[in-house]
């Protein structure tokens, strides 16, 4: 290190720790960065949720009310992109920042400065995505999957989206390298791999999935960029290319991506259920192997998103059976969660309620996934609301509700205060009921043939759509209660005990750290 850098080195000496706004901008503290990730994710969740309400307002009754068809499609595109890359993924990275070092007994993440960069890259990416609404031509309207040929023809919003996704990819890859290095190198003495909390395992595997899949998405959108501006024809049939190639490359990323959004959820739920059942997790080793099996299988199922693109039957059958295979390790997990609860001394505080709802509703989403895996059925249901119902059961009652479970579970640890249990339970029941009112009817409209991504529909779908829209507004408003409970907990309340969940056995918040955080001046080096 040169002398210039050494003299300007902020982390040395007593004037080291930045205060005020610089505490956040220049933070290398995993807890502060975790908090930044979680708040960023929450605002994106509200923003993309507001877009969903725009969609549901338009679909409240048949005919066009508020939106032009193009605007409607922009809303569905940005709702998907922002929920995935802005809300769910950053929330899980926020959990990783807060909990990975504490659970393995490390003083911080392995690369604290890189950690800072991972977070702050999200801001320009979000600004580009949101800013694409305001450029000539408006935000992209082709759906979050950005299929050509439409995406080759769209305006500069597409270039902004490509740039945003490149930045998000860099952030994810750098963050994953940080998480893997932390887990593999900074565990407390004696913590072997098979002694790590399951949350750590799920994040370790997720980080490998991210490193393997994000560059593939980057490749797909770079080929898209050169098709748009540099005269190539990867996806352009007029120049000898093939638009279906994009779908193959995209879904080779896209299917592992859905497991990136669910494996950390498995980790959170596998932490909470044993705590409130007062029993150790049933089948720890099988959980580790099942998670690894799901991750490996997730790379050989991608074309189940493309059954109607004209594949050879042998290919269709391969992807049908490989998709069905994933239900085996997933079934192992569901079995283990239920076996953990079996004959336990259960109590039903808010985190446990969200976790039990997760097990039940995520499994429902898994079942509709199995239905969609069946080739002849999928050909009927392709691009209908049945698919929309399926992936919202997986991503809302799966990913999003596990995030809520984790927030309630760890809020006492993070803030030092107990949250308001009564309001937490209200939030749980309102969310769960409103979620089902919103998305369950979509199974029926989908089976009856209502196509997705269309702002209008035939009269026979009117009742179910009205029910879905009412549920959606209730679901949206319920999340303001969540915001209120979190802010109230941060600002004060009953002091949390070292272990707030009384009687919970085998519940280790943290492994004692070799050095308390405030004495930790320089990034750790692996010896």
Instruction: Give the binding site for Cu ion (CB under 5 A).
Output: 255
Give the contacts of 187 (CB within 8 A, at least 6 positions apart). Answer: 104, 105, 106, 196
d(CA 476, CA 497): 32
- Is residue 270 annotated as a catalytic residue, yes or no? yes
Residues near 40 by Cβ (< 8 Å), separated by ≥ 6? 86, 90, 94, 119, 122, 123, 126
Catalytic residue selected from 108, 227, 349, 378: 108
- What does the angle CA 457 – CA 459 – CA 463 come to, to the nearest 5 degrees? 95
- Is 259 among the residues known to form the active site? yes
Give the C-alpha separation, 322 to 300, whole Å.
Answer: 7
Catalytic option among 37, 201, 251, 259: 259
CB nearer to Cu ion: pick between 255 and 417:
255
Nearest CB to Cu ion, comparing residues 214 and 352: 214
Q: Which of 178/213 has CB closer to Cu ion?
A: 213
Q: Which two tokens stand for residue 337?
A: 């969660």
Of 74, 333, 417, 427, which residue is the catalytic one?
A: 333
Question: Which residues are registered as beta bridge partners of 451?
Answer: 384
Q: What is the DSSP letter of 14?
A: T
Q: Catalytic pick from 166, 228, 255, 392? A: 255
3-state secondary structure 505-527: CCCCCCCCCCCCHHHCCCCCCCC
> Between residues 56 and 255, which has the closer beta carbon with respect to Cu ion?
255
Task: Give the residue from 442, 465, 443, 381 showing the smallest Cα distance to 63.
Answer: 465
Q: What is the DSSP string of 201-257?
A: HHHHHHHHHHHHHHHHHHHHHHHHHHHHHS---SS-GGGT--HHHHHHHHHHHHHHH
Which residue's CB is nearer to Cu ion, number 255 or number 279? 255
| Catalytic-labelled residue, pool 28, 41, 151, 171 | 171
Judge whether 172 counts as a catalytic residue: yes
Q: Contact, 372 vs 378, CB < 8 A?
A: yes
For the question of residue 505 being annotated catalytic, the response is no
Whether 469 is catalytic: no
Answer yes or no: 79 catalytic.
yes
State in angstroms the smallest separation of the CB of 317 from Cu ion.
Answer: 16
Q: Specify whether 229 is catalytic.
A: no
Choice among 172, 271, 363, 402 that is catalytic = 172
Contacting residues for 527 by C-beta, under 8 A, at least 6 apart: none
Please, what is the minimum distance in Å from the beta carbon of residue 304 to Cu ion?
5
Smallest distance from Cu ion to CB 435, Å: 22
**Smallest distance from the beta carbon of 25 to Cu ion, in angstroms?**
38
255 is catalytic: yes
501 is known as an active-site residue: no
Q: Which is nearer to Cu ion, 275 or 301 (CB)?
A: 301
User: Is 502 a known active-site residue?
Assistant: no
Between CA 354 and CA 221 the distance in angstroms is 37
Choice among 56, 79, 279, 427 that is catalytic: 79
Distance of CA 527 to the CA centre of its chain: 34
* Residue positions counted in the chain: 527
Any catalytic annotation for residue 443? no
Token pair in block for residue 138: 């408006």
Q: How far is the CB of 153 from Cu ion (least distance, A)?
A: 26
Nearer to Cu ion, 371 or 448 (CB): 371
Q: Residue 469: count other Cβ atoms within 10 Å of its Cβ.
A: 21
Q: Least distance from C-beta 395 to Cu ion, angstroms? A: 12
**Closest chain position to Cu ion (CB):** 255
Report in angstroms how near the CB of residue 217 gets to Cu ion at its nearest.
Answer: 14
We find the least distance from the C-beta atom of residue 200 to Cu ion, in angstroms, to be 26
From 452, 456, 488, 513, the catalytic residue: 452
Nearer to Cu ion, 30 or 305 (CB): 305
Q: How far apart are CA 491 and CA 493, in angstroms?
A: 7
User: Bridge partners of 384?
Assistant: 451
Q: Which residues are catalytic?
A: 79, 108, 144, 171-172, 255, 257, 259, 270, 304-305, 330, 333, 452
């Amino acid at each position: 290190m040169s002398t210039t850098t050494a003299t300007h080195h902020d982390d040395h000496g007593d004037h080291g720790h930045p205060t005020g706004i610089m505490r956040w901008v220049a933070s290398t503290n995993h807890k502060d960065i975790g908090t930044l990730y979680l708040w960023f994710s929450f605002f994106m969740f509200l923003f993309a949720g507001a877009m969903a309400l725009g969609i549901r307002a338009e679909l409240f009754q048949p005919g066009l009310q508020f939106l032009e068809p193009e605007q409607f499609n922009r809303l569905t595109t940005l709702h998907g992109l922002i929920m995935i890359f802005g809300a769910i993924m950053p929330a899980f990275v926020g959990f990783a920042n807060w909990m990975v070092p504490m659970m393995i007994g490390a003083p911080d993440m392995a690369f604290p400065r890189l950690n800072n960069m991972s977070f702050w890259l999200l801001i320009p990416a979000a600004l580009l995505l949101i800013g694409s609404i305001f450029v000539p031509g408006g935000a992209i309207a082709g759906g979050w999957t950005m299929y050509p040929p439409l995406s080759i023809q769209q305006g500069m919003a597409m270039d902004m989206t490509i740039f945003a996704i490149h930045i998000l990819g860099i952030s994810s890859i750098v963050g994953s390298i940080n998480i893997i290095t932390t887990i593999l190198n900074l565990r407390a003495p004696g913590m072997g791999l098979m002694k790590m909390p399951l949350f750590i395992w799920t994040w370790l595997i997720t980080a490998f999935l991210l490193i393997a899949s994000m560059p593939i998405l980057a490749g797909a959108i770079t080929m898209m960029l050169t098709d748009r501006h540099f005269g190539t024809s990867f996806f352009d049939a007029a120049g000898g290319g093939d638009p279906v190639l994009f779908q193959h490359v995209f879904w080779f990323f896209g299917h592992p991506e859905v497991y990136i959004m669910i494996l950390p959820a498995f980790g959170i739920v596998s932490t909470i259920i044993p705590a409130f059942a007062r029993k150790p997790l049933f089948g720890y080793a099988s959980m580790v192997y099942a998670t690894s099996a799901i991750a490996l299988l997730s790379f050989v199922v991608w074309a189940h998103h493309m059954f109607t693109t004209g594949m050879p039957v042998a290919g269709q059958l391969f992807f049908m059976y490989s998709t069905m295979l994933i239900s085996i390790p997933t079934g192992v997990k569901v079995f283990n969660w239920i076996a953990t609860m079996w004959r336990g001394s259960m109590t039903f505080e808010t985190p446990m309620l969200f976790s039990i709802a997760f097990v039940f509703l995520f499994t429902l989403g898994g079942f509709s996934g199995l239905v969609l895996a069946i080739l002849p059925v999928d050909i009927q249901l392709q691009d209908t609301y049945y698919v929309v119902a399926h992936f919202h059961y997986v991503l809302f009652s799966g990913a999003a509700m596990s995030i809520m479970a984790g927030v309630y579970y760890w809020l006492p640890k993070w803030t030092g205060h107990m949250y308001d249990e009564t309001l937490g339970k209200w939030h749980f029941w309102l969310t769960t009921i409103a979620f089902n009112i919103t998305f369950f009817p979509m199974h029926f409209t989908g089976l009856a043939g209502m196509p997705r991504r269309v702002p209008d529909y035939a009269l026979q779908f009117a009742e179910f759509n009205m029910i879905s829209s009412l549920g959606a507004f209730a679901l949206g408003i319920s999340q303001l209660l969540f915001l209120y409970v979190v802010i109230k907990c941060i600002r004060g309340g009953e002091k949390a005990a070292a272990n707030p969940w009384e009687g919970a056995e085998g519940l280790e918040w943290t492994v004692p750290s070799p050095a308390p955080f405030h004495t930790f001046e320089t990034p750790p080096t692996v010896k």
